[in-house]
Chains A and B, each alone.
Chain A
Amino acid sequence: MAAAIEREASARNLDVTIIRNGSRGMLWLETLVEVRTDKGRVAYGPVKASDVPSLFDAGFLTGGDHRLAHGVTAEIPFLKGQTRLTFARCGVTDPLSLEDYRHYKGLKGLEAAVAMTPAEIVKQVTDSGLRGRGGAGFPTGIKWKTVADAKADQKYIVCNADEGDSGTFADRMIMEGDPFVLIEGMAIAAIAVGATRGYIYTRSEYPHAIAIMQDAIAIARREGILGESVLGSSHAFDMEVRVGAGAYVCGEETSLLNSLEGKRGIVRAKPPLPALEGLFGKPTVVNNVMSLASVPVIMDRGAQFYRDFGVGRSHGTIPIQLAGNLKHGGLYETAFGLTLGELVNDIGGGTISGRPVKAVQVGGPLGAYFPPALFDTIFDYEAFAAAGGLIGHAGVVVFDDTVDMLAQARFAMEFCAIESCGKCTPCRIGAVRGVETVDRIARGDAAAIPLLESLCSTMKSGSLCALGGFTPYPVMSALTHFPADFDRMKEAAE
């Protein structure tokens, strides 16, 4: 695309500077081309290489009208309605320009942290109400305090960037669009707990994110953000990117630590907590990308500023990822408190297929399926737990009425069977029995339905980690909310 614009510009003798920025998160408009004009940045999309000559003809360099024009980017409703704290720079800046990063208030959080005592940093993060954005929602400040209080010759910061949930791409967008914010967040965490080494563990399925993160780390090292002296302070901190090898279960923190140590990614029993005995047995902070990327703004703007967003015990903003069969899919960062229906119908614009929504899966492959009847559920940790679901990594996947919920239940079990680390019985064997039991139901064996329910209850309470423990969520929610899809005898009779 950039090449097409460059070619066309030179053919027309026009002087154009092309900057490849990260994604704005409006994925139905991509490839999005923005032009800096007097009115502000003007958006055109989705642009194909074949559209480029007509864009030049329409005078897009001065904001000219075109069938792909969307006016000033910041005024597009999808973007205007958001509260972008974590993603403030994503899509605006050149990801690998530290100058850009500084210009848009980057490094302010780290500068503030360097001037504080570790205990003050931990307190500020605790007071902000930030909870782990990876799924469990554990208060980040309390985790940090445990590590800070532990005595050890070596401590680690591990960033969990093993974003394997279907329907999620927020971690990828940050790593590709604003890598320095993650580096800054990790450096703040390191100062707070006294760690000197950090790892970003990400997926082999994210080649671009890996390359950009590595480049950004090299720049940060060169510019004195990482290394012997972080921003000229007495704190030393360095980090590297490690790449997983296609195992979903490595998103579970103890399994991730085993993988980082070069072992099979099998889940460890807790206790001991990773905060006390984590990577190589040393005290370790394991935080999600989103949690760490939210830290700089908290350090810069203060705990109260962040805490004031949200509802109930869910403070701050959450980057919601709208995906699947949606007209306006993309990343929507907002304070907690919207309803699921608002997200799907108003912001997401309903299905792209134009058919009615049948089910929405929230929280990845281990998240529950919600029917439209539950669209008034508030998007926060507690309300979703009460409705028998979970927010997980805030991925929302929409299905239209062509979906067969029995097939989705079967897939949930199959996925668990494929991805199980194999350590505990309910997950390793239970998931395989689950696929077979759903197949029995599909063949019209109604007696298999209570068996599936019983199996789900064994898996839920008996499993060692969330993979086996949460696989019952999609299965049971499909069974509870869409019983007609499981009634194969009746279907055959009709």
Chain B
Amino acid sequence: MKDSRLLDRDFGTPAARSEKMITLTVDGFEVSVPEGTSVMRAASEAGISVPKLCATDMLDAFGSCRLCLVEIEGRAGTPASCTTPVAPGMVVHTQTGKLKDLRKGVMELYISDHPLDCLTCAANGDCELQDMAGALGLRDVRYEAVDTHFRARNAAATSIRSGWPRTRATRISLMTRRNASSARAACAPARKSRAPSP
């Protein structure tokens, strides 16, 4: 099993170091992983890939992109698989109708804030955002075009000298988590739509 894996495969969250093994079920497959492993990584170990944008096994889980949501029997809601640790006997579903709609809805929000210039974009064909939109079956965006976007504002502070848009810096933290292509993908719309009017 191990040998068949690609070396650069990303498991989503770092490996746990515990000696103690936990057994759980993901989409009907039983899998045993060290205690402290995330549900996302457990699924990945079982050969199931959960959609994701902000998770990588080089960093601790952050839980911001909301594409890796799963359903766990006996638990309310749809927790993020990257920030949820496994528990003995847990029964996880990563592919359900509800999750499909939810992920597509979140993806649609990402793309609604994104300039649709893939054909002239240097990252075309090598873009995680593009790949993920395809994987989730997003074909069109029901929201209005980018140039009509509403600008929320309440802060007392105004744009500082650097000219960096006066947004909350969190938006940037998401972007710095991933490789250059998806950083560009997520970053460009935020800068474009939130830039203060001159």
Number of A-B residue pairs at CB separation under 8 A: 103
Q: Is the interface of B mostly helix, strand, loop or mixed?
A: loop
Looking at A41-49, A229-237, A424-432, the stretch in contact with chain B turns out to be A424-432
**CB of A9 within 8 A of chain B?**
no
Give B154's nearest chain A residue, CB to CB: A418
Chain A nearest Cβ from B64, distance in angstroms: 5
Give B65's nearest chain A residue, CB to CB: A425
Q: For residue A464, which residues in chain B have a CB less than 8 angstroms away from its CB? A: 63-64, 66, 80
List B residues 56-82 near A (Cβ within 8 Å): 61-66, 69, 77-78, 80
Give B69's nearest chain A residue, CB to CB: A462
List A residues 188-232 near B (Cβ within 8 Å): none
Looking at A167-175, A290-298, A331-339, A452-460, the stretch in contact with chain B turns out to be A452-460
**CB of A423 within 8 A of chain B?**
yes
Contact B66 A462 (CB under 8 A): yes
**CB of A284 within 8 A of chain B?**
no
Chain A interface: which size bin? 35 or more
Contact A423 B64 (CB under 8 A): yes
| B105, B110, B112, B170: the one within 8 Å of A264 (CB) | B170
| A432, A458, A461: the one within 8 Å of B150 (CB) | A432
**Chain A 260-286, CB within 8 Å of chain B: the 1/0 string?**
000010100111000000000000000
**Chain B 141-172, CB within 8 Å of chain A: the 1/0 string?**
01110001110111010000000000111110
Give B109's nearest chain A residue, CB to CB: A429
**CB of A160 within 8 A of chain B?**
no
Q: For residue B22, which residues in chain A have a CB less than 8 angstroms away from its CB? A: none
| A417, A418, A419, A461: the one within 8 Å of B69 (CB) | A461
Give B153's nearest chain A residue, CB to CB: A418
Give A445's nearest chain B residue, CB to CB: B144
List A residues 420-478 near B (Cβ within 8 Å): 420-426, 428-433, 435-437, 439-440, 451, 454-455, 457-458, 461-464
Give the one of A426, A433, A455 with max B CB within 10 A: A433
Contact A423 B174 (CB under 8 A): yes
What is the CA–CA distance of A266 and B171 in the complex, to the nearest angstrom? 11
What is the CA–CA distance of A450 and B122 in the complex, to the nearest angstrom? 36
Contact A425 B150 (CB under 8 A): no
Q: Assuming A418-B154, A422-B168, A457-B105, is B69 touching A433 (CB within 8 A)?
A: no
Chain B nearest Cβ from A127, distance in angstroms: 26
Q: For residue A433, which residues in chain B have a CB less than 8 angstroms away from its CB? A: 109, 112, 143
What is the CA–CA distance of A425 and B69 in the complex, to the nearest angstrom? 12
**CB of A414 within 8 A of chain B?**
yes
Give the one of A246, A418, A420, A432 with max B CB within 10 A: A432
Chain A nearest Cβ from B170, distance in angstroms: 3
Q: For residue B142, which residues in chain A have a CB less than 8 angstroms away from its CB? A: 451, 454
What is the CA–CA distance of A269 and B55 in the complex, to the nearest angstrom? 13
Q: For residue B170, which residues in chain A have a CB less than 8 angstroms away from its CB? A: 264, 266, 421-423, 428
**CB of B128 within 8 A of chain A?**
no
Give the one of B62, B64, B84 with max A CB within 10 A: B64
Q: For residue A462, which residues in chain B have a CB less than 8 angstroms away from its CB? A: 66, 69, 78, 102, 105-106
> 12 interchain pairs (CB within 8 A)?
A269-B83, A271-B85, A414-B150, A423-B170, A425-B106, A429-B109, A432-B149, A435-B150, A436-B150, A454-B142, A461-B77, A464-B80
Given contacts A264-B170, A428-B170, A436-B150, 12 further A-B contacts (CB under 8 A): A425-B64, A428-B171, A432-B150, A435-B150, A436-B144, A436-B149, A439-B150, A461-B77, A461-B78, A462-B105, A464-B63, A464-B80
Residues of A within 8 A of B (CB): 246, 264, 266, 269-271, 414, 417-426, 428-433, 435-437, 439-440, 451, 454-455, 457-458, 461-464
The 6 lowest CB-CB distance pairs between A and B, nearest first, are A458-B105, A422-B170, A417-B152, A269-B63, A269-B83, A429-B109
Residues of B within 8 A of A (CB): 61-66, 69, 77-78, 80, 83-85, 98, 101-102, 105-106, 108-110, 112-113, 142-144, 148-150, 152-154, 156, 167-171, 173-174
